[in-house]
Chain A
Amino acid sequence: MSLPVVDYLKLPDNEDPYLEGHKCKKCSSIFLGERNVCSNCFSREGMEAIKLSNTGKLYSYSIVFRSFPGIDVPYISAIVDLDGGGTVKGNLIDCDPDPEKIEFDMPVEVVFDDALGRKDSEGNSYISYFFKPIS
């Protein structure tokens, strides 16, 4: 059985994986990960766990050609604004790492797959999320 790569990736039984946000009950700001107090409006009224959309638009990116040893390059590091709120960073896949081929606001979907074969020290495998262009 695989584990989620980050706390905000949820792997429910008998349901599709999804990304989870926490939405301020007062000002509706959306955060990744749990928290008690809203850092935007300072409200302590609480946070509501919400399912983030699995579609969004490319906000910004970089094409990474030099990374740490053992990490395959090039790849596209992408910042995606999800439809309905929340911003997430991840790898943009199935897209040429060429600025001519990457357009701001291009629609993408969030897909879930094995975490590039990476395993932890106990041999556990992980599920990660990726962005894929919607043609």
Chain B
Amino acid sequence: MSDVFVLGVDMIKFGRFPDRSVPDLGAEAALLALDDAGLTIDNMEAFYCGNLGQANAMVGQRILQEIGQTGIPVVNCSNACATGATAFREAWTSIKAGLYDVVLAVGVEQMGAGLLGGTGGGAGIPKEGLLGSGTMPAVFAEAGMEHSRQYGTTFEQFAKISVKNHHHSTMNPKARYQIETPLDEVMNAEMISYPNTKLMCSVNVDGAAAAVLVSEKKAKELGMGRAVRVKASVLTSDPYQERDLVMPDVNSCTRKAAKEAYEMAGIGADDVDLVELHDCFATAEMLHYENLGLCEDGGAGRLIDEGEVELGGRVPVNVSGGLLSKGHPLGATGIANIYEVCTHLRGEAGERQVENAKIGLTHVIGLGSACGIHILEKA
């Protein structure tokens, strides 16, 4: 099976674009990635499109109506917040299978404002605030409090994650915000669902990201100069856990995916130079330090306390600013984090560049649950 390479990758600056459409945002990202690869839409043999909000509305085809209707196969996919990573992985799979040499993957989302989630619709009466809360800040707070229960993790430690990611985003011109948020500001912000304050919740934004993936044969033909090797692509669902039905599990699917990804890449967690992980809430990032093997179980609090996950630390996490400050356009996130890692591997990340980055890992979670992990290496 051929190795697979990212030849072109890019994202639009995340923000609020109420006057634009989903296909319009996706088309902009697709053109940026094609330009980055030095290719055009008529070079693409297939197109994998990730979007959640208009999952039944043929977003991929509508993007092609804006940039070129070449008649290639289009697959529209949705997989909660793992949607972008799933589209990217489908593209990867098609090259691995030997079907194509050059394919396009796009993730795009236009978001509303306010809380996501909520406890059940269905028959009868609304259950939110009656049978606990199904809002995302509460669900991920409960997952974080499970960590507090096990290891004594504090509100302040969770808050430090938000301080770090907001700091990182000041160096990322494509992030939604470039604003420092000191610890007291994070901890004193409006409490949404304890222990997550407003500044510890990801930002709802519109956004799009895209990648051109090629086979090894094609990469050699077109020039490997800025190509990035996909060393591992893994997707998992959540294995059975006894509290599944009331406590969506983001841990076991991540642990399973991480183990499989490290095996596929033939590396260990110690070999990873930077990580973009799914910090939909500050409480979530804490869990994934351990889930991804960046430290031993129970070591996550120490990792943030000692600065090991900051830019300049042992293994910088979310130097893009993460979902907390770069923003979280659901379907775009899983390709935007691949853009971030590739940018570092190419040595093009400017002020936030992770020095000598050779290998990076991206991780997303779709609640329900899906986990997508990619390991990328400078070619």
Q: Mark B128-139, 1 if CB is under 8 A from A, else 0.
A: 111111010110
- The residue in chain B whose Cβ has the minimal distance to the Cβ of A85 is B242
Is B349 at the interface (CB under 8 A from chain A)?
no
Q: Would you give the shortest CB distance from B134 to chain A, in whole angstroms? A: 9
Residues of B within 8 A of A73 (CB): 129
Say what secondary structure dominates the interface of chain A.
strand
On whether the beta carbons of A87 and B131 are closer than 8 Å, the reply is: no
- The residue in chain B whose Cβ has the minimal distance to the Cβ of A97 is B194
Q: Would you give the shortest CB distance from B118 to chain A, in whole angstroms? A: 6
Is A89 at the interface (CB under 8 A from chain B)?
yes
Residues of A within 8 A of B137 (CB): 62, 66
Distance A5 CA – B146 CA, assembled complex (angstroms): 27
Residues of A within 8 A of B245 (CB): 31-33, 87
Residues of A within 8 Å of B, CB-based: how many?
43
Is A11 at the interface (CB under 8 A from chain B)?
no
Q: Per a CB cutoff under 8 Å, which of B128, B142, B191 touches A61? A: B142
Q: Mark A102-135, 1 if CB is under 8 A from B, else 0.
A: 0010000000000110111000001011000000
On whether the beta carbons of A67 and B190 are closer than 8 Å, the reply is: no
Q: A64-B138, A68-B115 are in contact. List 13 more A-B contacts (CB 8 A).
A: A30-B242, A60-B142, A60-B146, A60-B149, A61-B142, A62-B145, A66-B137, A78-B132, A87-B243, A91-B129, A116-B129, A128-B130, A128-B131
Interface residues of B (CB under 8 A from A): 115, 118, 123-133, 135, 137-138, 141-143, 145-146, 148-149, 155, 190-196, 240, 242-247
The 4 A-B residue pairs with the shortest CB-CB distance in the complex, in nearest-first order: A62-B141, A77-B132, A71-B129, A89-B246
| 26 residue pairs bridging A and B, Cβ less than 8 Å apart | A5-B127, A6-B127, A6-B131, A29-B242, A33-B245, A59-B243, A60-B142, A60-B247, A63-B194, A64-B133, A66-B135, A67-B129, A67-B135, A68-B135, A75-B133, A77-B132, A77-B133, A79-B132, A79-B243, A87-B245, A87-B246, A90-B130, A91-B132, A99-B195, A118-B126, A120-B125
